[in-house]
Amino acid sequence: MRAGGTAEDCAVALSVHNDRLIDRLMTLEGIAPRRIKLSDGRVMVWRCPDHLIPETDMSNAQIEACRE
């Protein structure tokens, strides 16, 4: 609102941000391992498929770029 937006603009921005957070949470919930207890007493373990695990680049290339 300080930048000149209306209350409606703020509400829309909050709604969009909330939707993004929900999408991220659902993605993270989908890759988190968990135990599932079945009605017959068996326990199954959900492990995320490798293609769903996000990749983080920890190489020195990012550090070198920051130094320049």
pLDDT of residue 58: 75
Instruction: State the amino acid at position 33 in one-letter form.
Output: P
Q: What CA–CA distance (Å, rounded) separates 66 from 14? A: 32
pLDDT of residue 59: 77
pLDDT tens-place string over residues 20-52: 999 999 888 888 888 999 999 999 998 887 887
Q: What CA–CA distance (Å, rounded) separates 23 from 32? A: 15
Considering only residues 25 and 65, tell me which one the structure prediction assigns the higher pLDDT: 25
pLDDT of residue 32: 82
Residues 46-67 have a mean pLDDT of: 72
